[in-house]
Amino acid sequence: MLLEAVLWLLSIAVAPAAAQTALGIDSISSFNADTVPDPPTFTLPSSSNLSVSVAFCSSNSDSTPRFFVTNSSAVSTPSASGGDNVYEIDLTDGYGNFTGLFEEGGVLAVEDAGETTFEIGVSENGPIHQSLDQLPLLGDTTSNQAIIFSPTFELSGWAEPSYPNYTLPDANLTFTEPSSSSNFTIFLVETDTSGSLSSLPQTACVLASQTSAGTVTNESAWLRDDLGWRTQWIIEGLTPSTNYTAYVVRAGTQVSQPMYFATKSATFNCPLVSSLPFCPNIAYPVPLPFPESTTRYDASNIPDSITDPLLSSITNLTVSLTSFACGRDLYSPLVTCADCQREYRRWLCTVSFPRCGEASPSNPDAVTSAAPNPTATGIGAVTHHSKHNKDGAETSTVRSALVPQASGSAPRNSNFPTVDYPYSMLLPCLETCTAADRACPNFLGFKCPVMRFNAAASYGVGYVDSGKEDGEGDGAVSSLQDRYGNIWCNGG
Ligand SMILES: *[C@@H]1O[C@H](CO)[C@@H](O)[C@H](O)[C@H]1NC(C)=O
Ligand SMILES: *[C@@H]1O[C@H](CO)[C@@H](O)[C@H](O)[C@H]1NC(C)=O
Ligand SMILES: *[C@@H]1O[C@H](CO)[C@@H](O)[C@H](O)[C@H]1NC(C)=O
Ligand SMILES: *[C@@H]1O[C@H](CO)[C@@H](O)[C@H](O)[C@H]1NC(C)=O
Ligand SMILES: *[C@@H]1O[C@H](CO)[C@@H](O)[C@H](O)[C@H]1NC(C)=O
Ligand SMILES: *[C@@H]1O[C@H](CO)[C@@H](O)[C@H](O)[C@H]1NC(C)=O
Ligand SMILES: *[C@@H]1O[C@H](CO)[C@@H](O)[C@H](O)[C@H]1NC(C)=O
Ligand SMILES: *[C@@H]1O[C@H](CO)[C@@H](O)[C@H](O)[C@H]1NC(C)=O
Ligand SMILES: *[C@@H]1O[C@H](CO)[C@@H](O)[C@H](O)[C@H]1NC(C)=O
């Protein structure tokens, strides 16, 4: 009798432990109603800094799973009844994580799993499943293409040269590919037909179960600016005049915030240009004829008549600039010759490649129906319409710096051919010019908005900076573009 009782006690002590599923470090396990173990508990390895993360791969109104974790060997099944060293993993938008000291290992238990499919990740390098606060960056769109960049994943690695061998980059830049790969993937979905997606948590396993819109036709690491390397995706096969939502997913488990954009209308004619080593910031549609035998322009097919004068200007600027004892003498406490060359290049590329645009979808008032009269400095951002919001207060409307161009009209850059279609030109942001003005020494004679190159072009003014004295960053929208697909002026 006594022996029987002891055996019985032993069996309850041993049986649940034997049935527990072990989760190892760097493991990602997926469970659904059929595969979740019974009892639904998992053993965790010992570690001085263990992160357990959870992501929902489906949602189910019938059950809301809860996850409890303990790092104490005295607790066999952590649960809602709590106790010492029992923690509930807070779940927000389908994600949850817990990081702590697990000297003796631990146990994770699931309650009310119901029909929900979920993933559990265990790692010593922070939570495997994460909602990143980064965003993809929109290059631009045509009627059926988009160019999108990941957040930066590696610094440029370029070191400022030093005197006496102060050598600036060549006009035609060369890049050394980054040592790491970004491990970002892109996911696109039509915004308005995403009813099935928007009802689900925006986790990587949910995105992976959906079909991404369009086709990625080119993926490469790109050093767009001095912020660092990004992955550049060229996506084709999109539908005209359609709202899309874009996510980037890092390492298959970490999802960025959504970025929204719209494709241009079916009558939009300008082809995309990108991937120019001498103008790494250019990734937008330009008024050129549609290229032969391909769908876009890059360094291999951009006409020399455009490239040669541009490279010559950068070379000439570099020669003039290095007549100064760069690296030995200072012309400013804040900026160097390298800053000047970089900002000059950015400005020159932005004004040399006129940009085609269309009114932003989430701001239909951005359409300028008639060519506005450019002032000495260009188009102003804010126009005070007698528009009233629902409280009756007067509102002002921000318009993109668009100027309609008739078919056959003379191109702003005389090295461009005349095209036989109408388009709207998105003027360069004045800030691209003032940045070069600030970065370059006075003796170069660089002035805004009176330009040495293409003096007929005017600017979009007042978007980022107000244009007033000390008005940096206090413009109408304080940015060149936003996450809703609005591109206010051409910031390159
Ligand atoms: C469990 O976590 C608590 C809180 O971080 C910590 O003080 C304790 O030492 C841990 N216990 C073990 C056995 O790791
Ligand atoms: C645990 O690891 C994460 C991610 O690697 C790190 O940010 C955190 O500082 C670490 N915590 C401790 C206590 O070492
Ligand atoms: C981990 O969870 C906490 C809430 O418990 C949350 O604030 C935090 O952002 C999460 N960390 C990551 C990296 O997702
Ligand atoms: C000067 O610097 C460039 C690039 O950094 C390098 O290629 C070149 O060898 C250097 N020349 C001398 C004389 O050190
Ligand atoms: C720029 O350099 C690349 C190689 O890095 C070369 O293929 C290309 O032809 C050059 N472009 C021009 C316009 O010189
Ligand atoms: C992607 O585009 C770049 C520039 O247009 C080109 O150099 C590269 O070969 C392309 N890569 C692939 C895989 O097509
Ligand atoms: C990239 O992510 C995949 C999962 O999508 C992972 O298996 C791989 O180890 C990661 N590679 C790097 C270099 O981080
Ligand atoms: C660059 O300088 C050379 C020599 O002075 C000159 O012939 C050429 O026109 C200049 N290029 C540009 C674009 O001004
Ligand atoms: C796209 O989104 C905008 C608002 O951002 C909306 O006004 C417009 O109707 C949407 N277009 C389509 C085709 O759904």
pLDDT mean over 99-107: 95
Which helix or strand (DSSP H or E) is residue 403 part of? strand 402-405
**Given this model, what pLDDT does residue 9 score?**
40
Q: Are residues 152 and 217 in the same domain?
A: yes
Q: Given the structure tokens 């072009």, which residue do they identify?
A: 457
Measured distance CA(106)–CA(44) in Å, rounded: 5
242-266 residues labelled b (16+ CB within 10 A) or e (exposed): bbbbbbbbbeebbbbebbbbbbbee
Sign of CA dihedral 162, 166, 171, 173: negative
Measured distance CA(434)–CA(425) in Å, rounded: 21
pLDDT tens digit sequence for 400-443: 888 889 999 998 899 999 999 999 999 998 889 989 999 999 99
Q: Are residues 167 and 253 in the same domain?
A: yes
pLDDT tens digit sequence for 356-401: 999 865 554 444 444 445 555 566 665 544 444 455 554 556 778 8
pLDDT mean over 283-294: 96
**165 CB near ligand 4 (under 6 Å):** yes
Which residues is 245 bridged to in the sheet? 189, 260
Return the closest-CA partner of residue 425 out of 378, 382, 384, 467.
378
Q: Are residues 48 and 167 in the same domain?
A: no
pLDDT band at 484 (very low <50, low <70, confident <90, very high): confident
Is 381 a domain residue? yes
Pocket-testing residue among 183, 185, 205, ligand 7, by greatest number of atoms within 8 A of Cβ: 183
**103 CB near ligand 1 (under 6 Å):** yes
Q: Compute the mean pLDDT over every residue in the chain, rounded to the nearest whole number.
A: 86
Is 481 a domain residue? no
Is a pLDDT exceeding 90 seen at residue 475?
Answer: no
**Given this model, what pLDDT does residue 397 score?**
65
Ligand nearest to the CA of 28: 7
pLDDT mean over 459-473: 67
Q: Are residues 111 and 153 in the same domain?
A: no
| Domain span holding position 110 | 16-129
Q: Are residues 57 and 178 in the same domain?
A: no
pLDDT band at 274 (very low <50, low <70, confident <90, very high): very high
Cα–ligand 4 centroid distance for 162 (angstroms): 10
pLDDT band at 7 (very low <50, low <70, confident <90, very high): very low
pLDDT mean over 107-123: 93
Residue 368 is encoded by which pair of tokens?
């300028």
Is a pLDDT exceeding 80 seen at residue 469?
Answer: no
Q: Which of 129, 164, 183 is the last residue of a domain?
A: 129
Residue nearest ligand 7's atom 8 by CA: 251
> pTM for the full model?
0.88
Residue nearest ligand 6's atom 3 by CA: 275
Give percent above pLDDT 90 in the chain: 62
pLDDT band at 483 (very low <50, low <70, confident <90, very high): confident
Is 112 a domain residue? yes
pLDDT mean over 190-215: 85
Give percent above pLDDT 70 in the chain: 83
Cα–ligand 6 centroid distance for 220 (angstroms): 7
Residue 47 is encoded by which pair of tokens?
């570690």
**Given this model, what pLDDT does residue 378 score?**
60
Q: Which of 93, 108, 129 is the last residue of a domain?
A: 129
**Given this model, what pLDDT does residue 1 score?**
42
Measured distance CA(374)–CA(204) in Å, rounded: 47
Return the closest-CA partner of residue 56 out of 272, 257, 209.
209
Residue nearest ligand 3's atom 1 by CA: 97
Is 280 a domain residue? yes
Residue nearest ligand 3's atom 4 by CA: 90
Q: Are residues 201 and 329 in the same domain?
A: yes
Measured distance CA(310)–CA(305) in Å, rounded: 9
Residues with CB under 6 A from ligand 8: 309, 312-313, 316
Q: Are residues 84 and 219 in the same domain?
A: no
Q: Are residues 119 and 156 in the same domain?
A: no
Measured distance CA(422)–CA(83) in Å, rounded: 72
pLDDT mean over 10-39: 75
Is 489 a domain residue? no
CB neighbour list of residue 258: distance below 8 Å, 6 or more residues apart: 202, 245, 246, 247, 483
pLDDT tens digit sequence for 345-354: 999 999 999 9
**Given this model, what pLDDT does residue 476 score?**
66
Q: Are residues 171 and 237 in the same domain?
A: yes
CATH number of the domain residue 103 falls in: 2.60.120.380
Cα–ligand 5 centroid distance for 275 (angstroms): 11
Q: Which of 104, 129, 154 is the last residue of a domain?
A: 129
Question: Contact at 8 Å (CB) between 60 and 208?
Answer: no
Is a pLDDT exceeding 60 seen at residue 17?
Answer: no
Is 273 a domain residue? yes
Question: Contact at 8 Å (CB) between 477 and 382?
Answer: no
Ligand nearest to the CA of 241: 9
Question: Contact at 8 Å (CB) between 109 and 81?
Answer: no
pLDDT band at 321 (very low <50, low <70, confident <90, very high): very high
Q: Which atom of ligand 5 is nearest to the CA of 277?
A: 1
Is 470 a domain residue? no
**Given this model, what pLDDT does residue 196 score?**
72
Sign of CA dihedral 373, 375, 378, 383: negative
pLDDT band at 256 (very low <50, low <70, confident <90, very high): very high
Q: Which atom of ligand 9 is nearest to the CA of 260?
A: 5
**167 CB near ligand 4 (under 6 Å):** yes
Return the closest-CA partner of residue 403 out of 348, 349, 354, 351.
354
Is 473 a domain residue? no
Pocket-testing residue among 215, 275, 278, 302, ligand 6, by greatest number of atoms within 8 A of Cβ: 275
Residues with CB under 6 A from ligand 3: 90, 97, 127, 130-131
Q: Are residues 381 and 293 in the same domain?
A: yes
**174 CB near ligand 5 (under 6 Å):** yes
Which residues is 134 bridged to in the sheet? none
pLDDT mean over 308-330: 94
Which helix or strand (DSSP H or E) is residue 188 part of? strand 184-190
- List Cα–Cα distances, 91 to 66, 67, 84, 205, in angstroms: 8, 9, 21, 16
**125 CB near ligand 2 (under 6 Å):** yes
Cα–ligand 6 centroid distance for 33 (angstroms): 44
pLDDT mean over 441-450: 83
Instruction: Please count the structural domains in the chain.
Output: 2
Specify the higher pLDDT residue, 453 or 378.
Answer: 378
Residue nearest ligand 8's atom 14 by CA: 313
Collapse the DSSP code of 405 into the 3-class scheme (helix H, G, I; strand E, B; otherwise coil) and give the result. strand
Helices (H), 73-228: 195-198, 204-208
Sign of CA dihedral 368, 372, 374, 375: negative
432-444 residues labelled b (16+ CB within 10 A) or e (exposed): bbbbbbbbbbeeb
**Given this model, what pLDDT does residue 481 score?**
83
Q: Are residues 201 and 250 in the same domain?
A: yes
Q: Are residues 216 and 334 in the same domain?
A: yes
Q: Which of 267-276, 307-316, 378-387, 404-413 has the lowest mean pLDDT?
A: 378-387
**Given this model, what pLDDT does residue 367 score?**
42
**Given this model, what pLDDT does residue 195 score?**
67
